[in-house]
């Protein structure tokens, strides 16, 4: 530096034009700068592609080492050049501008290199070093250029810090998304896997003696949905907490940049809330929503995700919002209404889809059983058809699955009369108990007076009873439609009678209002009677029907 000053002064005395001198001086210094930038660039390339052939046996530096290199090379050179410049050319007019242009040009290059290099640090374990590196970078550059008139590097270097932070945040968000995808996939696979015999959870369906219990050979509800739901919730919460913990390092008050308002507000408002918090929950919501359109998804997964979204909407998201606020000392509460509403509606859609799929499966069973049979040449019924028992089993299974995740809901209290015995049913409920004098149209008109129209349109509620009611309604409606397409001989009709009685005995306990089951089964019987070859139809004696159904 002394030699340089000496040379310059001599040249000045010799009367060299100042402009030329300045250019030569700056060009000379530029060479040094470029050399140090080359080293830094080499590091960047090495970091981007560690497998590339390294001719010069350069060792990869970590971020901190990288910044140290910069702060021992580029930054001091820049600072010294500036100092020297002012010593030598203090009185040159416009010198400040020329110098600042030159500095800015080289600084831009430097900042780009630093930004590129530091943005490559995406791994969680690198975060600690990254934060320190950023701090050192910011501090040193700040210090070096503080006293230079007309030059403000703060904004530019803060932008670099923000860009690097943003890259880190995005990488964190991507990690969380990958984790969620894996967790949901694991849940799906666990559901689809062949069942191992597991004890059903404590709150099984209430069997007051008349209900069918799944035969011991069949796998009972082997998947423990409540455990899976809780596990998924925990995973979501932990994932976010870990991510926030990692990013909290960026707000350490000891860091010079973190206290700058330009950084602080951008970090918390955009990066934490938008790029992490909201982005993750919208991602969860979109992932769940996609399943409503997937025809291959196992229904239990729909149920599980429906419950998950509901929990997120009701408690988890507000809880985590408060947590985030506290962790980062943010005073402003975020507006959660949009995401929460969306989660709630996705939960509802998933539940509706579950109802659609499960009732669809029941419908296929019922439909095929009616469609494929020759009802004109039936023999006298001696037993309930196997498919009916299967239906009751399946409904039991659905009941226990839904019961794991959703509360019971309100049932209409049963009237005093026992509904187990067909003979005891009130006239309003089941007109077919009086099979003797059967005037179909009169019977159905009386019935319609007393019972409410079956409604398929009330949206399903997140209670077990609501879900089961709708599934059973839709399944029985299918049976009605299929019965109307057939023609029944005397015994064919009686078989339907036996089957309906069996269903009446076993399905009432799952629904909200047992009259609904009675009404639908009466409609089915009425339609079967309309389709009966024998007019007036000959039904089986109630006591015989009872015996057959009890045999099961």
Rounded to the nearest whole angstrom, what is the least distance from the CB of residue 481 to another protein in the complex? Answer: 5
For 42, list phi and psi in degrees, rounded to 5. Answer: -60, -40
- 175 Cβ neighbours under 8 A, 6+ residues apart: 124, 243
> 381, 491 in Cβ contact below 8 A?
yes
Q: Which one, of 328, 546, 305, lies nearest residue 421 by Cα?
A: 546
Closer Cβ to another protein, 77 or 297, answer by number? 297
Whole-number Å distance between alpha carbons of 223 and 196:
9
**CA–CA separation, 388 and 401 (whole Å):** 20
CB of 480 to another protein, least distance (A): 8
Nearer residue to another protein within complex by CB, 35 or 368:
368
Question: What tokens does 532 get?
Answer: 């009966």
Comparison of 29 and 358: residue with beta carbon closer to another protein: 358
Nearest distance from residue 362's CB to another protein, in Å? Answer: 12
Rg (CA), the chain: 39
**Nearest-approach distance from CB 512 to another protein, in angstroms:** 17
Shortest approach of another protein to residue 486 CB, angstroms? 10
- Between 386 and 547, whose beta carbon lies closer to another protein? 386
CA distances 289 to 150, 286, 293, Å, are: 55, 5, 8
Residues in the chain: 552
Shortest Å distance, C-beta 371 to another protein: 6
Give the shortest CB-453-to-another protein separation in angstroms: 6
Q: State which residue, 280 or 512, has the beta carbon closest to another protein.
A: 512
Our CB check for another protein shows the closer of 109 and 481 to be 481
Residues in contact with another protein by the rule CB under 8 A: 295, 356, 360, 363, 367-368, 371-372, 376, 440, 453, 456-457, 474, 477-478, 480-481, 484, 487, 489, 530-533, 535
Shortest Cβ 523–another protein spacing (Å): 9
Complex with another protein: residue 382 or 453, whichever CB lies closer: 453
- C-alpha span between 36 and 525 (Å, rounded): 92
Minimum CB distance to another protein, residue 308 (Å): 24
Q: Residue 198 CB: number of other CB atoms within 10 A?
A: 12
**CA atoms of 521 and 497, how far apart (whole Å):** 9
The CA distances from residue 456 to 355, 471, 508, 525, in Å, are 12, 10, 17, 20
Identify any residues that bridge with 532 across adjacent strands, giving them in sequence order.
488
Nearer to another protein, 232 or 476 (CB): 476
What does the alpha-carbon distance between residue 70 and residue 39 come to, in Å, rounded to a whole number?
A: 9
Place of tokens 């499960």: 358
Distance CA 229, CA 226 (A): 5
Tokens of 413: 């209290």
- Minimum CB separation from another protein for residue 551, in Å? 29
| Residue 351 CA neighbour count, 13 Å, CB half | 25
Question: Given the complex with another protein, which of 436 and 457 has the nearer CB atom?
Answer: 457
Q: Which is nearer to another protein, 249 or 438 (CB)?
A: 438
C-alpha triplet 526, 530, 533: angle, nearest 5°: 130
Contact 150, 102 (CB under 8 A): no
């Amino acid at each position: 530096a002394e030699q340089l000053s000496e040379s310059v002064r001599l040249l000045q005395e010799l009367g060299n034009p100042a402009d030329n001198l300045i250019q030569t001086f700056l060009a000379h210094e530029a060479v040094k700068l470029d050399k140090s930038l080359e080293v830094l660039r080499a590091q960047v390339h090495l970091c981007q592609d560690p497998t590339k052939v390294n001719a010069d046996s350069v060792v990869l530096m970590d971020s901190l080492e990288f910044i140290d290199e910069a702060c021992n090379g580029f930054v001091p050179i820049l600072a010294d050049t500036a100092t020297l410049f002012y010593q030598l050319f203090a009185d040159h007019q416009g010198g400040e501008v020329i110098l600042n242009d030159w500095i800015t040009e080289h600084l831009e290059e430097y900042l780009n290199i630093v930004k590129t290099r530091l943005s490559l640090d995406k791994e969680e374990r690198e975060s600690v070093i990254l934060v320190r590196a950023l701090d050192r970078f910011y501090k040193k550059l700040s210090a070096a250029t503080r006293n230079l008139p007309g030059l403000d590097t703060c904004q530019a270097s803060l932008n670099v810090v923000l860009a690097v932070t943003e890259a880190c945040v995005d990488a964190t968000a991507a990690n969380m998304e990958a984790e969620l995808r894996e967790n949901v996939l694991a849940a799906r696979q666990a559901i689809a896997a062949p069942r191992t015999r597991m004890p059903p959870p404590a709150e099984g369906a209430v069997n007051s003696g008349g209900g069918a219990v799944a035969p011991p050979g069949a796998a009972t509800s082997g998947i423990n949905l409540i455990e899976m739901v809780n596990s998924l919730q925990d995973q979501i919460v932990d994932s976010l907490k870990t991510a926030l913990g990692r990013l909290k390092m960026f707000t350490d008050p000891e860091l010079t940049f973190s206290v700058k308002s330009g950084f602080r507000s951008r970090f918390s408002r955009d990066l934490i809330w938008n790029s992490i918090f909201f982005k993750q929950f919208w991602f969860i919501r979109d992932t769940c929503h996609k399943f409503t359109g997937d025809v291959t998804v196992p229904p239990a997964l729909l149920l599980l995700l429906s419950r998950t979204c509901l929990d997120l909407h009701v408690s988890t998201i507000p809880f985590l919002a408060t947590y985030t606020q506290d962790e980062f000392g943010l005073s402003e509460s975020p507006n959660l209404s949009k995401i929460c509403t969306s989660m709630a509606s996705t939960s509802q859609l998933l539940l509706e889809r579950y109802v659609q799929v499960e009732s669809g499966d029941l419908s296929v069973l019922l439909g095929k059983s009616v469609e494929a049979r020759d009802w004109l040449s039936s023999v006298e019924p001696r037993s309930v058809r196997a498919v009916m028992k299967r239906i009751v089993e399946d409904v039991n299974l659905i009941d226990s699955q839904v019961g794991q995740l959703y509360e019971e809901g309100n049932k209409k209290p049963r009237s005093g009369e026992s509904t187990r015995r067909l003979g005891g049913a009130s006239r309003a409920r089941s007109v077919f108990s009086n099979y003797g004098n059967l005037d179909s149209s009169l019977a159905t008109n009386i019935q319609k007076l007393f019972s409410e129209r079956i409604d398929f349109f009330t949206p399903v509620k997140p209670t077990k009873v609501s879900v089961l009611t709708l599934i059973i309604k839709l399944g029985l409606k299918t049976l009605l439609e299929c019965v109307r397409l057939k023609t029944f001989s005397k015994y064919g009709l009686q078989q339907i009678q036996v089957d309906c009685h069996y269903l009446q005995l076993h399905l009432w306990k799952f629904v909200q209002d047992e009259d609904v089951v009675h009404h639908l089964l009466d409609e089915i019987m009425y339609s079967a009677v309309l389709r009966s070859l024998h007019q007036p139809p000959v039904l089986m004696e109630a006591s015989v029907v009872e015996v057959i159904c009890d045999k099961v």
